[in-house]
A and B are shown apart, each in its own frame.
Chain A
């Protein structure tokens, strides 16, 4: 990041605090406080004494809630499912967005502006509504796609237990591929045209221009898009929640977030829910930082 040396300031200028504090206070109240609260909550347990008479007692139980979450097969399974989902979704998303951006930028696209707007449009459709729509397109009774495929002898059930992760990945892809593509196109647009001229003089092919000029120069944007996709993927909640009534392949602990939500509101165990939420956040950090370390290693910067 460019660090311009800031000009000398009159000492103790109060203006910077007036500018800074409103955000910092709101950030502390609505970001830091809930995270701290969740961590504290996750270390306690509420037990109702004896026959439920008298006040329930809150006791410090250290890592008991984490141990409980991690020894619950359903929760562990949901974490495994989430990791599998990320393994499908993240490459699918990044490669689709990058592929579309490169095709639109290739100079061969007939109506680049039109396609760009078209691909971007689903970003405006909330995940809930996208899921409702795709839900209809996933049931044979209402889906023209499944009916058409059935007519030529291909029977498909996207909501079967083997297909449901792909069905959910498709909804996320539909909603966000165009948005990620726009981020990548902004980076492609920023490449100075002299570089293309030089490449042409050197007789570089389209492939080598793409490989040696475009991809290295949009690398920061590809990393940004990948990290955003990883974080978005780990939040998986809305799609399975809305698809749940349509299929028996989605349980109430399908994803860690769904499990945490159910613990908090259906099972009435906010402490265990907090531990689950913290585990999801830790998973997010491990994945994001792991990815950033991987791509920032010296020897992998070749491209």
Chain B
């Protein structure tokens, strides 16, 4: 992916300069992560009294880890599981709904199709924060606030997913194959479920991952919807602990260790899955 670029010419930035800039950027992106891994091995006192990028004389990673998972009856584990549930289930349903709708918009003709697609695209431009507040008052009237559903249901809608699915259905599912399958007697839903989804697989993975991270990172929605700490995702739980640090400095260790653990979980996931992020988000635009 890099070797085919033009060769070096005089007057261009040198290889050394390029790599120097890249290395400095690398240090910048690593700094907070390295800091939190070191800080997670410290007591609250050491956190404020020792140099941030080196270990103290008495590292206590294990004690902090045990404290993290036993605090308040092991509620941190519950928070991680909640986050996985909200993100995993929300993204899975969002992926299926987006794939079906994007495919239908790409492959069928019907009245008002472009208008519908424009409205859905407009949804991409609406800030999530604008929706969260009115959604709270709406769901409150039907008694859904405070439940898992209050976070799960809104998370299952991804207008951006429909946009991606439409582009990739156009680009990767040839009409001839649909016609051939029809002649063989396959129903339209079966063609979508068994043939089209397979051809759209890379785009579907991208939609899933995009929505997974979006839900995992969404803070305002669970903040307004949830009040029982047992239903909190990790992000909300950690800020709850962070608000206790003034009262009891022991919470600093919990916040730092909790941040380290949840950062490791997601960064690990990102690194493992990052090659799937390669689907070209603007494939339709460049080809149009």
Contact = CB atoms under 8 A, between A and B. Distances in A.
Same complex for A and B? Answer yes
Interface in B27-43: 28-33, 35-36, 39
B166 to A, nearest CB: 8
Interface string B225-255: 0000000001100110011001000000001
Contacts of B188: 13, 15-16
Interface stretch (B55-63, B68-76, B119-127): B119-127
B201 interface: no
Interface string B263-280: 100110111001001111
Task: Say whether chain A's binding surface is mostly helix, strand, loop, or mixed.
Answer: helix
Interface residues of A, number: 110
Nearest to B1: A189
A234 interface: yes
Given A27-B120, A34-B135, A19 B29 contact: no
Interface in B153-206: 153-154, 156-157, 159, 162, 167, 170-171, 175, 178-179, 187-189, 192
Contacts of A132: 238-239, 242, 255, 259
Interface stretch (A47-55, A85-93, A200-208): A200-208
Contacts of A226: none
B100 interface: yes
A281 B234 CA distance: 28
A303 interface: no
A32 B122 CA distance: 10
Interface in B96-151: 97-98, 100-101, 103-110, 116, 119-120, 123-131, 133-138
A252 interface: no
B33 A220 contact: no
Contact of A137 (B35, B109, B129, B175): B35
A137 B119 CA distance: 42
Contact of B134 (A29, A35, A193): A35
A95 interface: no
Nearest to B191: A15
Contacts of A143: 52
B2 A104 contact: yes
Given A38-B133, A242-B239, A182 B18 contact: no
B127 A284 contact: yes
A60 interface: no
A6 B114 CA distance: 14
A145 B52 CA distance: 9
Interface residues of B, number: 116
B280 A23 contact: no
B82 to A, nearest CB: 13
Contact of B282 (A147, A187, A274, A288): A187
Interface in A190-223: 190, 193, 196, 199-200, 204-207, 209, 217, 220-221
A221 B278 CA distance: 13
A13 B255 contact: no
Contacts of A281: 126-127, 130
Contacts of A288: 125
A45 interface: no
A24 interface: yes
Contact of B159 (A3, A31, A103, A182): A31
Nearest to A123: B270
B238 A2 contact: no
Contacts of B5: 105-107, 196, 209
Nearest to A213: B6
B220 interface: yes
Given A34-B135, A35-B134, A129-B263, A6 B109 contact: yes
Contact of A273 (B13, B116, B133): B133
Contact of A124 (B124, B131, B270): B270
A186 B28 CA distance: 23
A302 interface: no
A109 B19 contact: yes
B217 interface: yes
Contact of B157 (A23, A107, A124, A127): A23
Nearest to B107: A6
Contacts of B213: 123-124
A204 to B, nearest CB: 7
26 contacts: A2-B170, A6-B109, A16-B108, A19-B104, A27-B159, A30-B157, A34-B134, A35-B131, A41-B137, A103-B21, A107-B4, A108-B14, A109-B19, A119-B26, A128-B235, A133-B33, A144-B35, A183-B282, A187-B282, A189-B1, A206-B6, A209-B5, A220-B285, A242-B239, A264-B224, A285-B125
Shortest 7 CB-CB contacts between residues of A and residues of B: A15-B188, A107-B5, A144-B52, A124-B266, A23-B101, A124-B270, A38-B134
Interface of B: 1-9, 11-15, 18-19, 21-22, 25-26, 28-33, 35-36, 39, 47-48, 51-53, 97-98, 100-101, 103-110, 116, 119-120, 123-131, 133-138, 153-154, 156-157, 159, 162, 167, 170-171, 175, 178-179, 187-189, 192, 213, 216-217, 219-220, 224, 234-235, 238-239, 242-243, 246, 255-256, 259, 262-263, 266-267, 269-271, 274, 277-288
